[in-house]
Amino acid sequence: MNNQDQVKVIDKSEEKLTILKEASVTTAKGYHAGGLFCGIKRKRLDLGWLYSEVPAAAAGVYTTNLFQAAPLTVTQESIAVEKKLQGVLINSGNANACTGKQGLADAYEMRHAFAEAMGMKEHYAAVVSTGVIGELLPMEKIKAGISQISEVKDQVTVEEFEKAILTTDTCTKHFGVQLEIDGQQVTIGGAAKGSGMIHPNMATMLSFVTTDANIEQEHLHGALKTVTNKTFNMITVDGDTSTNDMVLVFANGLAGNASLHPEHPEWDVFLLGLEKVCQELAKKIARDGEGATKLIEVQVKGAPSDEAAQAIGKSIVGSSLVKTAVYGTDANWGRIVCAIGYSGQALDPDKVKVSLGPITVVENGLPCVFSEEDAKAYLEEENVFIYVDMNQGEGQASCWGCDLTYEYVRINASYRT
């Protein structure tokens, strides 16, 4: 790892983390990953795999869409057996969703073939699919691809894995941190895909996080749920929630630290490290929204509660009118206050303050005099911040999204054809 890729930061608990910008799912000890082309897509890589040298404590969070794809059922069943996983197989280009009994049988067959190829217990294997809904998997192509893994796994790298899981994404997404726990170096790394059908609870996305920390599954699952609510569940691109969304985290214990739990003196260090990885992956997904040109971050403070702040932030960042205004560099603050007003949260409009970056546009619920030219120049930046102070409590939250462009319509108007 290049020194220039490592930056020391001090978080809010004054604990030190080392950020590894180029880290991914194989940076922690004992993990390997790769990808190949098996023919689901026309040209691009479409079959990826990740595995740990030893079985790892595993936890997942999944889409709230009631049309859950078959691979989610199979993966949840795998984790339920021993609360562990050793590997996950991902295909892109086909979601294996709304495919009935045959789709479920295909997901089980994928799991069986992958486990056999990797020499692991079948319930240590998870399967994930992403892509077009309502089409059966081309199982002969997938099985042929699985049969190639043992031949090519030493010739491919994590970069192929990151590419193989993509659909309409324009770039790969990865991030990691290192921290010290019980005198041992612990690493947390992750990779994600997501670009369209992105909306909170869960966003349309896949994310895989690996760590060599030693932690029991029940505490890992609790940590993931806590962190997800602050990160992956706080992004939106277009208001649609998919059938295949999933975040999986593996912890194989190879760092050698004492087992982590909420009473462990360095539990907060681990939790903050996990949150940092998930937050950065979530922001990368939001920035790579289909057709997007800008990342929008909404920071809300002074709300009656954190939950209220989250709801207000999601309402703003999810507004199509706010998103198009940012794309058009139009400082139309009326759209922001409208989104605050229909967020469903109790509020006093006469106390609300809104700023576009450094430019205050609303104070005490009333418009401020500001330079339209300066505001337009600010909205032309790649990262746009919208600050809201409700002045009604201590609640706060951050949300992420992107602008809504003509290109989004073009991409989605012909997604299948």
Q: Which of 283-297, 302-316, 358-372 has the lowest mean pLDDT?
A: 283-297
Token code pair at residue 292 = 């997007």
What's the Cα-to-Cα distance from 393 to each of 228, 300, 341, 349, rounded to whole Å?
24, 11, 17, 14
Residues written for the chain: 417
In whole numbers, what is the pLDDT of the chain averaged over residues? 90
pTM: 0.85
Which runs of E-coded beta strand occur in 125-241?
Answer: 125-132, 173-181, 184-193, 206-211
Average pLDDT over every residue of 348-364: 97
Between these two residues, 211 and 168, which has the higher pLDDT value?
Answer: 211
Model confidence at 126: pLDDT above 50? yes
With the CA atoms of 403, 239, 159 and 69 taken in that order, what torsion angle do they form, in degrees rounded to the nearest 10? -170
Average pLDDT over residues 94-106: 95
Q: What is the DSSP string of 159-184?
A: HHHHHHT-SS-SS-EEEEEEEEETTE
Are 356 and 379 in contact by the 8 Å Cβ rule? The answer is: yes
Separation of alpha carbons 137 and 28, rounded Å: 32
Selection from 230, 233, 227 nearest residue 204 by Cα: 233
Per-residue burial over 120-146, b = 16 or more CB atoms within 10 Å of its CB, e = otherwise: beebbbbbbbbbebebebbeebbbebb
Going from the N-terminus, what domains does the chain have, and what CATH number goes with each? 20-287 (3.60.70.12), 295-413 (3.10.20.340)
63 catalytic, yes or no? Answer: no
Q: Which residues are paired to 187 by β-bridges?
A: 178
Amino acid at 16: K
SS3 (DSSP) at 179: strand
Residue found by looking up tokens 């349309």 in the block = 204
C-alpha span between 216 and 264 (Å, rounded)? 12
List, in order, residues 6 or more apart from 263 with CB less than 8 Å away. none
Task: Please state, in angstroms and rounded to a whole number, the distance separating the CA atoms of residues 120 and 243.
Answer: 28
228 vs 390: CA distance, rounded Å: 24
- How does DSSP classify residue 41? S
Q: Which of 187, 204, 211, 243 is catalytic?
A: 204
Give the pLDDT confidence score for residue 13 in this predicted structure: 45
Token couple for 332: 């139309």
Contacts of 160 (CB under 8 A, 6+ apart): 33, 34, 35, 36, 45, 48
Residue 109 has what pLDDT? 98
Band (353; pLDDT cuts 50, 70, 90): very high
Give the pLDDT confidence score for residue 195 in this predicted structure.
61
d(CA 326, CA 331): 7
Q: What's the pLDDT band for 415 if we cut at 50, 70, 90?
A: low
User: How far apart (Å, rounded) are the C-alpha atoms in residues 177 and 225?
Assistant: 19
